[in-house]
Chain A
Amino acid sequence: MNRTRPEMLHCLNATGNLAAATSREMSVLERQRAVLKWHQEQLKRRQQRHFDDLNVFSAPLLAQNINGLIDDDGSGLNEILTRPTGMETGRPDFGSKSGVILDLDHSAGHVNASSGYCLNFAISGNINFPPTVVAAATQVNTAVGAEAKVREPTTSERLSVTTGRQSSKKRKAEKSLPSEVDEEEDSIVKKIRGCADEEEPTNSDQHQNSNKNNWNNNSSKNKESNGDKSNREASSCTSKGNSKASAVQKPDYVHVRARRGQATDSHSLAERIRREKISERMKYLQELVPGCNKITGKSGMLDEIINYVQSLQRQVEYLSMKLAALNPSVDVNINDLFAKEVSPACLASYLPTMGVSPEMASQSYLEYNPVETMGQVCVSEGVNLVDASLRRSMSPPVSIPETLLHSSCFNQIHNSLPWELDLQSLFSMEFQQERPINCSLADLCWPY
């Protein structure tokens, strides 16, 4: 640093045109190094000093001093100094600070035509500012250091792009700052750091814009949000207001919005996601399990679900025992039953009796009395149709194992009808009827 300083001064003195000189005669790298070293020195020095709230009293004094000095150097400096005030609208003290900031030692050095650069310079020069400003300054500084020809006031955005390169060093410097910082400022710094962390992979200008806005809104934001500092995952680096914090763009993370008035902690967010999942699935189960419309609350619902699953399993047991008992007697039947076609006549006769109430079916179920209710066995490719047909009251038997069929029965079988449509209706009706059966069985099994 020391070696560059005289260099710079020399250049400046020689040319008299600060902006031109610095941009032409010094390489970018040199300037970078110079800036870095200078900042490091500054920070070291300033660590010893106390961090007061100099916003109040130091600024005007220093401003007076420096302004006077600056005038000697030239009007350019004045212009540059006054420009930064326009940038930070939300922080008037900041603006004044920028005016103050020029370090007398290096007033002539590092001055670029860009207001941004000067802003950096100014900000980093004075340690008495809260670390937020320093952080901002350092960020902007490094950016400027890398950029040789920053001219426009809107270069702050561009500066952000290069911030990432040197931000790591700056962050280390920041960390060595004394711990006398306010909580608020600390959180702001962390947020900025967090934002800086994200800048490196993303390098988006938006973040920097939001950074700037953050600096403006930081004080108010901290008060309104729940002030959770460890909020990296759901970072608050948005340019929106205080009501939302969006998630980081990491691929495996779920994007969550922290709602207003709610904790933005990563843990609580994850918990909220989990809770929402659970409630969503419980709602779905509520529709599925019969009789759960009135029940609210997880424990009641769980009880109902448990009971329902148990009843279903018991039904399966009961039916399997039944099937086991039935099995030997219907060796031949099954094959034949599945092979036969449905006779349209049967269908025609079935349809009017469709309206057989579920009680009949459940009766047959419970009483195991097949004769009355299941007079017909109507076979199709699907068993469903058979089921529908089984509910009919007595009607002329249709298809029966060949060995037992009487010739008269066959008459009705081979007519052509569009029975597919009928099948559809039968299926739908059958399914409607199935539900009540399950319910009744469930009621039956309840006392077990």
Chain B
Amino acid sequence: MENVSQDQAKNNQIRWRSAAEQKTYSSKLVEALRHVRRSSPPDNVSSRGRAVREKADKVLAIAAKGRMRWSRAILKKRLKLRLSNHKKAKDRSKLAAAGNSRRKNLKIEVPKKKRLRPLQRRVRVLGRLVPGCRKLSLPNLLEEVTDYIAALEMQVRAMATLTELLTGANAVAGNVAESSNRLEISRQLEHPPQS
């Protein structure tokens, strides 16, 4: 059983490092980015940035094909957010109608603090970092973390490439525009327009 899981992990690793995977991810990401560009307001960069980040994560999760827990959790988050947004609007209206009576009845109990050993604490922190793995046992958590790290690395690579490409394109475009202008100008200079 252990050997099987190890082989799976190694296969996953190879998958995330492959060029094909990165290619597909990049193309999907570009598509998603185009969506973002169209949908979100151009002036608010930070919100755009967040949207881009979320899109990137979503595309990554899709690339993972739902094999790992964190990918499923990311995809679930999207749905939950949308649903919760709808729900929040409804709830607010309900609360306003009902008044404060509900809140008075509710008792919030402060959870008792557990004395976690440092190791346990770190395990919890790691669980919080990886999406959807908060209450996972250590061996499963480590498996998820392995795959998640590989996927993140691929994501970073792809996005870096993309940004470089775009910035390079911009720069080159700028350069070329300049050079083309210069050429035009030089041509004009060489061949002065004949009046």
Interface size on B, residues (CB 8 A): 71
Q: A281-B139, A281-B142, A371-B175 are known contacts. Are A310 and B170 too (CB-CB below 8 A)? A: no
Q: Mark A405-441, 1 if CB is under 8 A from B, else 0.
A: 1100100000000000000000100010010011001
- Across-interface contacts of B19 in A (CB, < 8 A): 382, 384, 427, 431
B6 and A312: CB pair below 8 A?
Answer: no
Cα(A348)–Cα(B122), bound, Å = 50
B171 and A370: CB pair below 8 A?
Answer: yes
- B24 and chain A: residue at smallest CB distance: A382
Q: Mark B154-191, 1 if CB is under 8 A from A, else 0.
A: 01111111111111111111011101100100000000
Determine how close the nearest CB of chain B comes to the CB of A211; give it in whole angstroms. 30
**Selected contact of A284 from candidates B9, B17, B130, B163, CB within 8 Å:** B9
A285 and B168: CB pair below 8 A?
Answer: no
List A230-283 residues whose CB lies under 8 Å from chain B. Answer: 254, 274, 276-278, 280-282
Q: A285-B142, A328-B42, A338-B30 are known contacts. Are A317 and B167 too (CB-CB below 8 A)? A: no
- Across-interface contacts of A337 in B (CB, < 8 A): 165, 169
B166 and A330: CB pair below 8 A?
Answer: yes
Cα(A313)–Cα(B46), bound, Å = 16
Surface stretch bound by B, among A76-84, A131-139, A179-187, A300-308? A300-308
Determine how close the nearest CB of chain B comes to the CB of A117; give it in whole angstroms. 45
Q: A285-B145, A326-B166, A387-B160 are known contacts. Are A302 and B119 too (CB-CB below 8 A)? A: yes
- Across-interface contacts of A405 in B (CB, < 8 A): 176
Asked if B62 CB lies within 8 Å of chain A CBs, one says no
Asked if B73 CB lies within 8 Å of chain A CBs, one says no
> For chain B, what secondary structure do more than half of its interface residues adopt (helix, strand, loop), or is it mixed?
helix
Asked if B88 CB lies within 8 Å of chain A CBs, one says no
Asked if A56 CB lies within 8 Å of chain B CBs, one says no
Determine how close the nearest CB of chain B comes to the CB of A66; give it in whole angstroms. 56
List A120-142 residues whose CB lies under 8 Å from chain B. Answer: none
Asked if A334 CB lies within 8 Å of chain B CBs, one says yes
Q: A280-B2, A326-B166, A375-B172 are known contacts. Are A309 and B129 too (CB-CB below 8 A)? A: yes
Q: Mark B114-144, 1 if CB is under 8 A from A, else 0.
A: 0000110011011001100000001100110
A326 and B167: CB pair below 8 A?
Answer: yes
A281 and B143: CB pair below 8 A?
Answer: yes
Interface size on A, residues (CB 8 A): 72
Cα(A288)–Cα(B145), bound, Å = 11
B122 and A306: CB pair below 8 A?
Answer: yes
B119 and A377: CB pair below 8 A?
Answer: no
Determine how close the nearest CB of chain A comes to the CB of B117; give it in whole angstroms. 9
Cα(A387)–Cα(B87), bound, Å = 44
B162 and A383: CB pair below 8 A?
Answer: yes
**Selected contact of B156 from candidates A277, A333, A438, CB within 8 Å:** A438
B163 and A278: CB pair below 8 A?
Answer: no
- Across-interface contacts of B130 in A (CB, < 8 A): 309
B37 and A327: CB pair below 8 A?
Answer: yes
**Selected contact of B170 from candidates A276, A289, A315, A330, CB within 8 Å:** A330
Q: A316-B53, A383-B23 are known contacts. Are A397 and B37 too (CB-CB below 8 A)? A: no
A404 and B56: CB pair below 8 A?
Answer: no
Asked if B81 CB lies within 8 Å of chain A CBs, one says no
**Selected contact of B164 from candidates A281, A382, A387, CB within 8 Å:** A387
Q: Mark B9-26, 1 if CB is under 8 A from A, else 0.
A: 100010001010011001
Q: Mark B35-50, 1 if CB is under 8 A from A, else 0.
A: 0110000100110111
Task: List 13 A-B pairs, Cβ < 8 Å.
Answer: A281-B146, A310-B129, A313-B152, A320-B56, A329-B166, A329-B170, A377-B172, A383-B158, A387-B161, A390-B164, A390-B165, A427-B19, A431-B17
B: residues with CB less than 8 A from A are 1-2, 6, 9, 13, 17, 19, 22-23, 26-27, 30, 33-34, 36-37, 42, 45-46, 48-53, 56-57, 118-119, 122-123, 125-126, 129-130, 138-139, 142-143, 145-146, 148-150, 152-153, 155-173, 175-177, 179-180, 183
- Among all A-B residue pairs, the 4 with the closest Cβ atoms: A374-B168, A321-B49, A320-B53, A281-B142
